[in-house]
């Protein structure tokens, strides 16, 4: 696979094993597409698929999966803890290798247009693909969920980007867009004082004046006798892991608190860790193509 | 490719483009084998191929390349700056992923036996595959080179491990073995004093009491106005890059000298850099399989 675009579609079915497998089958045994992971949560009643592929094969596989979801899932009968507005709820495309954000924006629009036309399933472009600033945030689009969308879709600022201006009777609406890879990154502190983790979270997160691509909150870890700065890195290519780590370290120092360790939850692109090694070793003139595994993936 | 074994065969032909391509063709267009790089040096009159593959396909491709080298290269007419004893001079097998050192030792012995039987080309097992301690070091085996090997091969301690006890009339002899990946890693110091780089090199290298898997020497870099600790890391899984980097840093400190930066020459396994990131970020419970690109390579 010479080009790698990641896609993490979320489907509103987390309980019926047969339906789950039918949907996931869309990503199996296809040249230029590789299923990396899928996990369903019964409480959330939701299925999260992680797949990578090249532009065209990935597009076709995603459209196939959307067709199956529209056929198999009826949101009128759906209940679960996770907010949702569609049979496929959200479809993000993420550039990993030999693909730009612009490629992913174009892909999201092609996929969105096909979903609107082929399945009469209304599409909101979100994140980097959004058609207006107030439509960038998924939570803003999804507010009201499947039930509320029956009315909301008629409001002038919530007309869909593709498909009919009417909620699909069983499938609802879907958000499609392009975004950078998310890295779920947590830093544990050698203290039980949650206020310190909360305070540091505010210093590093974008909304309070911190780094542009950091979301963060303080979390108590009573089992460990520690607290945690729980972080979502929304663009590690611009806000690097090591920069956040070192900032948390020097902020904690004012309370005489040290870092106990950190953890990455789920998958992380190789570049995020290579960038970290490059910083700490002061590596000069290093290219990702010097990583042996990176060469192996080229065709 | 679910299993990755690396092989870096060195051939004694660095000038004749047609012969070089014929040899390299052995590694092209084969399922389970991927040619990563090849480079010929006219002064050395030598070709270095970097290839990865799964056990059986890699074995077959390497044997095919050896057959071509025996057919095309006559060491009686070979001259170049690099010491050499065979048409294929050395064939190391290196475990990268889902392969152990024992797998590579077994592979080297199977390849060695086939070379001896099929091409009447005498084989010395070296490094981890060596049949005696005095035969581990390639330079010791190769001493005397092609010309001297006519006599040397008859000495009791230099009988070959496979093949006839007679130098091949045109192809000479070859070393085959298993070793860990080499990482060529250099650390530059903010000083022009070569004695400091030399002194630190002695402190970190195995031969003088340093780390088990470090070879090092001081090198002058007059163009940069610096000196360098030039390092060969012979097993980064046991002697980590960051450990050597931090040791050079604290040793340099006694002269008030700082590290200007470091560099990796050529290819490096992903794990060497991921290990470095894990150390500096204090990552807990992290697995290589969390690296997205590592998942993509699995089958």
The answer to whether the beta carbons of residues A151 and A203 sit under 8 Å apart is no
Catalytic positions of A are: 82
pLDDT above 90: percentage of residues in chain A: 95
Structure tokens at B148: 């001297």
The confidence score (pLDDT) of residue B146 equals: 97
**CA pair distance A234, A137, nearest whole angstrom:** 13
Q: What is the pLDDT of residues B81-117, one digit of tens each?
A: 899 999 999 999 999 999 999 999 999 999 999 999 9
Using CB atoms, pick whichever of A4, A242, A291 lies closest to residue B268: A291
Q: Do A267 and B286 touch (CB under 8 A)?
A: no
B142 pLDDT more than 90: yes
Lowest mean pLDDT among A57-71, A195-209, A282-296, B223-237: A282-296
Q: Would you say residue A294 has pLDDT above 90?
A: no
Here the tokens at position A13 are: 């079915």
> Are residues A267 and B291, on separate chains, in Cβ contact within 8 Å?
yes
- Pairwise CB contact (< 8 Å): A292 & B52: yes
Residue B299 — pLDDT band, cuts 50, 70, 90?
low
Averaged pLDDT for residues A31-43: 93
Report the pLDDT averaged over residues B24-45: 95
Q: Report the pLDDT value the prediction gives residue B253, as an integer from 0 to 100.
A: 98
CB burial string A32-53: b at 16+ within 10 A, e below = bbbbbebebeeebbbbbbbbbb
For A243, the closest chain B residue by CA position comes to: B281
Active site residue B82: yes
Say whether pLDDT at B162 is over 90: yes
pLDDT tens digit sequence for A217-274: 999 999 999 999 999 999 999 999 999 999 999 999 999 999 999 999 989 999 999 9
Among B181, B264, B293, whose Cβ lies nearest the Cβ of A294?
B293
Instruction: Quickly state the pLDDT bin for B16 (edges 50, 70, 90).
Output: very high
pLDDT at B152 over 70: yes
Q: What is the pLDDT of residue B2?
A: 80
Segment A203-210 shows an average pLDDT of 96
CA distance B141 to B172: 13
- What one-character-per-residue DSSP string does A58-80 give? HHHHHHHHHHHHHHH--GGG---
- Percentage of chain B modeled with pLDDT above 90: 95
Q: Please give the pLDDT value at position A1.
A: 78
- pLDDT at position A85 is 98
pTM of the model: 0.85
Q: What sign does the dihedral B71-B75-B81-B85 (CA atoms) show? A: positive
CA–CA separation, A43 vs A48, rounded Å?
Answer: 13
| Residue among A97, A241, A291 minimizing CB distance to B281 | A241
Residue B88 has what pLDDT? 98
Q: What is the pLDDT of residues A146-203, one digit of tens each?
A: 999 999 999 999 999 999 999 999 999 999 999 999 999 999 999 999 999 999 999 9
Instruction: Report whether pLDDT(A297) > 90.
Output: no
Select from B293, B295, B299 the residue whose CB has the most chain A CBs within 10 Å, as the one to mutate to test that interface.
B293
pLDDT of residue A69: 98
CA distances from B21 to A72, A123, B17, B68 (A): 55, 53, 6, 11
pLDDT at A295: 84
pLDDT exceeds cutoff 90 at A137? yes
Mean pLDDT, to the nearest integer, of A197-222?
96
Residues of A in contact with B270 (CB under 8 A): 270, 274, 291-294
Residue to test with chain B: of A293, A295, A298, most B Cβ within 10 A = A293
What residues of A are in contact with residue B296 (Cβ under 8 Å)? 1, 4, 34, 36, 52, 297
- Three-class secondary structure of residue B221 per DSSP: strand
CA distances from B86 to A33, A194, A284, B168 (A): 44, 67, 37, 9
Mean pLDDT of chain A: 96
- Give which of B273, B278, B288 to mutate to test A binding, by max A Cβ within 10 Å: B273
Say what the pLDDT of residue B296 is: 82
Give the per-residue pLDDT at A111.
98
């Amino acid at each position: 696979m010479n080009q790698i675009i990641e896609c993490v579609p979320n489907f509103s079915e987390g309980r019926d094993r047969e339906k789950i497998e039918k949907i996931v089958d869309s990503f199996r045994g296809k040249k230029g597409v590789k299923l990396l992971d899928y996990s369903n949560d019964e409480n959330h009643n939701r299925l999260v698929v992680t797949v990578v592929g090249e532009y065209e094969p990935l597009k076709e596989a995603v459209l196939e999966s959307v067709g199956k979801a529209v056929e198999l899932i009826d949101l009128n009968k759906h209940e679960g803890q996770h907010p949702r507005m569609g049979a496929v709820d959200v479809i993000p495309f993420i550039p990993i290798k030999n693909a730009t954000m612009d490629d992913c924006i174009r892909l999201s629009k092609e996929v969105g247009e096909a979903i609107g036309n082929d399945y009469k399933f209304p599409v909101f472009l979100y994140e980097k693909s959004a058609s207006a600033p107030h439509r960038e945030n998924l939570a803003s689009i999804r507010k009201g969920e499947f039930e509320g969308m029956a009315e909301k879709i008629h409001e002038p600022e919530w007309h869909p980007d593709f498909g009919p201006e009417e909620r699909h009777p069983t499938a609802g609406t879907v958000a499609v867009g392009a975004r950078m890879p998310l890295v779920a990154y947590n830093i544990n502190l050698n203290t039980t004082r949650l206020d310190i983790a909360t305070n540091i979270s505010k210093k590093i997160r974008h909304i309070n004046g911190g780094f542009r691509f950091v979301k963060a909150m303080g979390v108590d870890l009573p089992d460990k006798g520690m607290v945690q700065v729980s972080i979502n890195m929304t663009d590690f290519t611009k806000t690097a892991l090591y920069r956040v780590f070192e900032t948390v370290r020097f902020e904690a120092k004012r309370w005489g608190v040290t870092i106990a360790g950190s953890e990455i939850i789920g998958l992380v692109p190789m570049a995020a860790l290579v960038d970290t090694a490059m910083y700490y070793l002061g590596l000069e003139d290093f290219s990702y193509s010097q990583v042996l595994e990176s060469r192996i993936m080229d065709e």
